Amino acid sequence: MESRDAINSLTDEILAKILSHLPTKRAVSTSVLSKRWRNLFPLMNHLFAPQHHFCLDDSDLLYPEVKIDDTTKARERQQDVHQRFRDFVGKTLSGSNTIKKLSLKCQDGHISTDEWIRIALDKGLVDLDLRLTTSVHHEAACLLNSLVFTNKTLVKLTLGIEIGPIIIEILKVCLPVLKSLVLHGFWFICEKLCRRMLPGCPVLEELSLHYYLGGYEHTQPSSPYLYVSHKTLKKLTVHANNCVDVCASTTFDTPSLVYIDYSGHAPLEYEVRTAKPLVSLVEAKLDVDVPEMHRSSVYLSWIFIWASNVKNLSLSSLTVKEMLRSGMVIPSFVNLVKLSIESNTRQGWQVLPDLLYRSPKLETLVLKGLHCIGKEGVYYIGRPSEVKVLEIYGFRGNVGEFTQTKWFLWHLQFLQVMKVEIDADDDDKKLQLTSDLLALPKRSSKCQIHFL
């Protein structure tokens, strides 16, 4: 009772402010509490719409848990729900003075989104996340030629489009202020949208491509290809999610690119002839594998040619495993200052010495999965490493971990700090591992050990 009275004692303005931080569905659901609460969501729209993320999802309405056996009644109920969802979205958007961020998720066809997007754009929309699933041709045609692709307010656009085997044909793209574009979909939809949209986004800075599997790949070319060309693009993310075969062609013409996050298969070998470093690149995250059936025709080194000028490099466990298996020659990373490596196999750690040798300016080394290293550890022989910061995550106290950590503390002669995250089942074991690590000999008395 006291907590209820405390809430009721708050002013309408404060309650409306609280609602503005809730998901739209949750905020609207409070309208059934009482007559007073019935007016708070409209008040929130009036006072705090610019701070509210309007998130409108039809799945809760169109796919209820209650089952209806009668087909006719089920169809009537669905039609009624469709109409109520349309009315709710229209009323919600129309009743807001300002709309800055909007998410629309329509998993069922027969719901037109263009009018809603028009309302939001007229109210200052800058961030749109649209997820649409439909196999209805006229709906797909309306979407692909809607205001989503021709407006002057959107700064960020996220599209998740599942429209079946429908040909992607956008008549016009004009997004003069768009800086961030995120595409989710079948690879052929993402690729076609990417090619068609990029020329119409003159100030684009961030592009993300996230592929997923669908049932229509058989209707498309069997060899995927990826072509990204843009003068102002700074950040590129490509997550293939094991949904596509090895790309027949992969080309990046991106002179301003400073960051790449690439997860997928390595390119075909013949493309190495045209491979060039991405000279502006500063940071690269690589999660690359080579399918068994393509190991004779795929060239892993090309990925590393892209990243040979970076200052910050992250390698996944899958990547280091393929580096070792392929016997590739690791290029020199003359500008590299931070290296992050993860390996869940003993063999994967064998690439570490060569990476250290070929990174003369390295200052920060981050390691994950060190518990998988062999009992003897790995050793670096060559010029003194410049590493000043060492970070170890998931330390379990295995013999190999202690062997390797001891080697680091003694042979990284410029090491200033070692940060360790201990993975222990109980506090007693954690305290013991902490004590054992602090007792290890160090080359420099100034080197500090911190625990995360």
Q: Are 310 and 282 in contact (CB under 8 A)?
A: yes
> Does 28 fall in a domain?
yes
Q: Which residue did the predictor score with more confidence, 306 or 286?
A: 286
In the prediction, which pLDDT does 86 show? 74
Res. 210: pLDDT tops 80: yes
> Count of domains in the chain?
1
- CA–CA separation, 140 and 77 (whole Å): 25
In the prediction, which pLDDT does 355 show? 92
Percent of the chain with pLDDT over 90: 35
| Distances, alpha carbon 240 to alpha carbons 107, 213, 250, 262, 356, in Å | 23, 10, 13, 8, 29
Q: Which residue did the predictor score with more confidence, 398 or 144?
A: 398
pTM: 0.82
In the prediction, which pLDDT does 405 show? 95
Q: Tell me, rounded to whole angstroms, the distance of Cα 96 from its chain centroid.
A: 31
In the prediction, which pLDDT does 166 show? 54
> Does 32 fall in a domain?
yes
Res. 211: pLDDT tops 70: yes
Mean pLDDT of 47-76: 57
In the prediction, which pLDDT does 258 show? 95
- CA–CA separation, 321 and 206 (whole Å): 30
Range with the poorest average pLDDT among 37-46, 145-154, 230-239: 37-46
> Does 118 fall in a domain?
no
> Does 31 fall in a domain?
yes
In the prediction, which pLDDT does 220 show? 45
Q: Tell me, rounded to whole angstroms, the distance of Cα 191 from its chain centroid.
A: 17
Mean pLDDT of 437-451: 91
Mean pLDDT of 6-15: 71
Of 220, 140, 230, 138, the residue nearest 186 (C-alpha): 220
In the prediction, which pLDDT does 221 show? 46
Is the four-CA dihedral 204, 210, 215, 217 of positive or negative sign? positive
> Does 206 fall in a domain?
no
- CA–CA separation, 370 and 420 (whole Å): 11
> Does 287 fall in a domain?
no
The segment with the largest mean pLDDT, out of 86-90, 139-143, 318-322, is 318-322
140-146 contacts at long range (C-beta below 8 A, 24 or more positions apart) = 140/164, 140/166, 142/112, 142/114, 143/113, 143/114, 144/168, 144/169, 144/170, 144/171, 145/170, 145/171, 145/172, 146/113, 146/114, 146/117
Q: How confident is the model at residue 286 (pLDDT cuts 50, 70, 90)?
A: very high
β-strand partners of 235: 206, 259
> Does 67 fall in a domain?
no
Task: Please spell the DSSP secondary structure of 37-79, one letter per residue.
Answer: HHTHHHHHHHHHGGG-EEEEESHHHHS-S-----HHHHHHHHH
Mind listing the pLDDT tens digit for each residue in 170-181?
A: 778 899 999 999
The segment with the largest mean pLDDT, out of 70-84, 90-104, 204-218, 300-314, is 300-314
Res. 160: pLDDT tops 80: yes
Res. 66: pLDDT tops 50: no
Q: Are 402 and 374 in contact (CB under 8 A)?
A: no
Task: Please spell the DSSP secondary structure of 240-274, one letter per residue.
Answer: -TT-S---SEEEEE-TT--EEEEEEEPPBGGGGGG
Structure token pair of residue 452: 């995360």
Q: Which residue did the predictor score with more confidence, 437 or 214?
A: 437
What SS3 state is found at 380? coil
Q: How confident is the model at residue 65 (pLDDT cuts 50, 70, 90)?
A: very low
Q: Which residue did the predictor score with more confidence, 65 or 121?
A: 121
In the prediction, which pLDDT does 104 show? 83
Average pLDDT, the chain: 79
Percent of the chain with pLDDT over 70: 67
Mind listing the pLDDT tens digit for each residue in 360-407?
A: 999 999 999 999 999 999 987 777 788 999 999 999 999 999 999 999
Q: Which residue did the predictor score with more confidence, 119 or 2?
A: 119
Mean pLDDT of 247-257: 78
- Note down the domain range covering 37: 1-51
Mean pLDDT of 141-161: 82
> Does 3 fall in a domain?
yes
In the prediction, which pLDDT does 293 show? 58
